Chain A
């Protein structure tokens, strides 16, 4: 058995919490001697008891978090085919340049004349993202994809309101990410679901039946969450445009089509991007992300304020606050700048040729892997997948084995598993996204592991039920965690 590539063994002392390591009077901090007269806050405002933080040495802290990192799996640890998450390699050069003082040590209230490099970076990144998506202008304020969705929907609402009627409904496919319907509700709209047809695509006839003058727009991921290109997108767009509704492009899967096709050419008016997916900014264990939103020319007035401006005559960049129709501010400052620096490095490092290759390799890798495991993990829908594929583990049910069991067994075989149980419309879904940065050898090794797990499901199902065995902890009691919440020391 290969075993999960996270450290299982280590000194027993290492798994204690910081609180359990704490010893009264121990410390790591140092500050200079106060060089001005001492002062304190008045009695009425003073904290009565010191905060109950751990008292630990710097060695304690370093051992503690080093150990924690050793029981955590990242892209740098190994293959991470988590479908819909585009867990590609994060280039180290992006970290190096993001750490330059001229980026990392900028204060958000600095005057524009001290920020010409930062504004030039944002301006050029905006031009590139608009070119990739076929849009006119973009905002960098949304700090994550879901925030981008909500921003895009607020823009949609502002557009319709300006035209006299905000309308009431947004249509989303039944295969959509959970953030889509949640964002719809938060933007003040009602989500209406359109079913997928037998091909796994939006059911165009059903959609036409749902479209009326109350529909503000449609949110669509293309390629969709099944990894399939919405071939009838022109018909979908026509149906929406007929009633004056807008199309929103969820950019979660933009990776597949970069340099090959553009949402703007498909009839979309709003696009959000997830920089941690498409542009390889590290996801940090759950964030930070960045969710730039690009829009067509007719929606430009509604973008959050401010947007970057450029005065060609003087060659100066500036923040443009003069935007009377703007939806306002969606982030405290101007978005996750540090993440955008990394995205810039990725986009301009790759260039037009490199970006096109990204999509090509991602799609080739997914198709190759799908083909390698197809006999035992058939595709949920028959079409040719793009950058990811959704297979079903339905056939193992007869051995009492579920998709989750296979996922856990893959851990023991040395891999991070795929996404399971999403999209919701697929029984025992296994959503696999290898990304473009993996070699054929890695794909082959993962395919072998999937096939081995399938064989074991039939012959030794308990191997799967008991998995994982090689990790620092085994399957955890999630029901207990929710029933008796213990959320702090």
Chain B
């Protein structure tokens, strides 16, 4: 091949790199190893971690141990799908394109909103995009965000706002629930998480109404797994809904890859960032799917683009599509009821303990709640870990978030409660 290129050595392929810039010697990276050795090394590293199969997972705060049905990765893991690129040649990419069209359809069905894109990176970065949509729509730059929103969302938003695009202020949440804010006419968006970071249900529609009365966009940070039983963002009056889609068939995977879900009303369609798939026909009149409305995107608009997103989380969206098809409307509702029932049972049993109580005993919650103990939360967390349980994250010094999905059994819950009792004594 070198000869065919009219060259005599590999080095000639790199001859236009100035000599001074050529790497002298070798990279300081270990020598390559065989596949067998690699697998051993990876097993060694994996073996140094504890995980949600050898510990019982009651941890939450944005990532949840929901059951992943066998069918999800048997299908999303088909290599024709996972080894493909962004579907730039639609005739060769109908599998991915139709899957994303079905994903968008299901997200609309779930949220009660009119349009969805083909996915974003994760929940917090989806909120950043929703805020960009809102500042664009309102030509305002102040953002109000409830204190009961997961802190990671606030931190992410502050980072992306630092280019002087918007400023973020918090709304107090006394009693673990957001106070209805006074919204000025310079506010672009009001953000509430429902169920909120503490697990509590929010007066979301009242907050949204306050936002819209002042001409601001109402943004709902939601949990897709709650929408089998909780009123969806559309019904509550949200303009934009964003959520963490990890629970929809995606693995815990130490925080990523996850799935950023976003849905909005039709009026905001052209402000929606990222890939969007649309239905059309081919030259023979057959139905087919394409990436559409690309005039919004970075590769067309370049410096005038309102989002730089290119790669998204397509495969996670495909997994979510298989997952939602597996659950269907009744499965999703049953799953929601099981989460509520198991979380409530756990909370009641824990609050029976003398040394523990619920942080907000009167609040209604979905699948997680905050326990307050007489002992520092991190100490309780450590003792529970020794007993074989993952809980948390900690909420301040004395609060501990406990999350209960449909996977937890009564036997596991009873053992957790017993371990709680011992940790507090």
Q: Which residue of A lies closest to B44 (CB)?
A: A117
A356-B229 Cα distance, complex, nearest whole Å? 55
Q: Chain B contact residues (Cβ within 8 angstroms of A): what range?
A: 35 or more
Residue interface mask B31-67, A partner, CB < 8 A = 1: 1110100110111111111111111010111110100
B residues within 8 A CB of A101? 46, 51-54
- Residue among B46, B119, B282 facing the most chain A CB atoms (10 A cut-off): B46
CB of A45 within 8 A of CB of B364, answer yes
Asked if B327 is at the interface of the complex by the 8 Å CB criterion, the answer is: yes
Instruction: Select one of B15, B230, B288, B315 contacting A287, CB under 8 A.
Output: B315
CB of A66 within 8 A of CB of B230, answer no
A128-B301 Cα distance, complex, nearest whole Å? 36
B residues within 8 A CB of A110? 50-51, 59, 254, 390
Asked if A425 is at the interface of the complex by the 8 Å CB criterion, the answer is: no
Q: Which of A58-81 contact B (CB under 8 A)?
A: 58, 61-62, 64-66, 68-77, 80
Asked if A378 is at the interface of the complex by the 8 Å CB criterion, the answer is: no
Asked if A243 is at the interface of the complex by the 8 Å CB criterion, the answer is: no
Q: Which residue of A lies closest to B14 (CB)?
A: A260
CB of B45 within 8 A of CB of A117, answer yes
Asked if B211 is at the interface of the complex by the 8 Å CB criterion, the answer is: no
Nearest CB on B from A466, distance (A): 8
B residues within 8 A CB of A477? 280-283
Instruction: Select one of A283, A333, A355, A371 contacting B152, CB under 8 A.
Output: A333
Nearest CB on B from A326, distance (A): 9
A residues within 8 A CB of B4? 368, 371-372
A residues within 8 A CB of B48? 102, 116-118, 120
The verdict on A97 contacting B38 (CB below 8 Å), with A103-B49, A182-B303, A336-B256 known, is yes
Asked if A419 is at the interface of the complex by the 8 Å CB criterion, the answer is: yes
Q: Which residue of B lies closest to A72 (CB)?
A: B95
CB of A332 within 8 A of CB of B258, answer yes
A to B CB contacts below 8 Å, 17 in the list = A15-B287, A17-B102, A45-B231, A51-B228, A51-B332, A61-B325, A75-B84, A103-B253, A143-B313, A178-B300, A182-B298, A329-B152, A345-B42, A353-B32, A363-B14, A384-B13, A488-B104
CB of B235 within 8 A of CB of A48, answer yes
CB of B80 within 8 A of CB of A69, answer yes
Q: Which of A285-313 contact B (CB under 8 A)?
A: 285-289, 304
Q: Which of B8-41 contact A (CB under 8 A)?
A: 10, 13-18, 20-23, 26-33, 35, 38-39, 41
Instruction: Select one of A158, A288, A368 contacting B256, CB under 8 A.
Output: A288
A379-B344 Cα distance, complex, nearest whole Å? 68
Residue interface mask A378-399, B partner, CB < 8 A = 1: 0000011010000000000000
A365-B1 Cα distance, complex, nearest whole Å? 8
Q: Which residue of A lies closest to B121 (CB)?
A: A143
- Residue among B160, B235, B281 facing the most chain A CB atoms (10 A cut-off): B160
A341-B60 Cα distance, complex, nearest whole Å? 23
Q: Which residue of A lies closest to B366 (CB)?
A: A41
- Residue among A115, A233, A333, A353 facing the most chain B CB atoms (10 A cut-off): A333
A411-B26 Cα distance, complex, nearest whole Å? 41
The verdict on A476 contacting B310 (CB below 8 Å), with A118-B254, A144-B121, A485-B292 known, is no
Asked if A461 is at the interface of the complex by the 8 Å CB criterion, the answer is: no
A residues within 8 A CB of B22? 260-261
A50-B109 Cα distance, complex, nearest whole Å? 9
A326-B341 Cα distance, complex, nearest whole Å? 42
Q: Which residue of A lies closest to B378 (CB)?
A: A111
CB of B325 within 8 A of CB of A53, answer yes
A188-B281 Cα distance, complex, nearest whole Å? 40
A residues within 8 A CB of B50? 110, 114-115
Residue interface mask A5-23, B partner, CB < 8 A = 1: 0100000000101110000
Instruction: Select one of B74, B82, B101, B251 contacting A487, CB under 8 A.
Output: B101
The verdict on A154 contacting B163 (CB below 8 Å), with A97-B46, A349-B33 known, is yes
Residue interface mask B257-291, A partner, CB < 8 A = 1: 11000000000010000011111111110111110
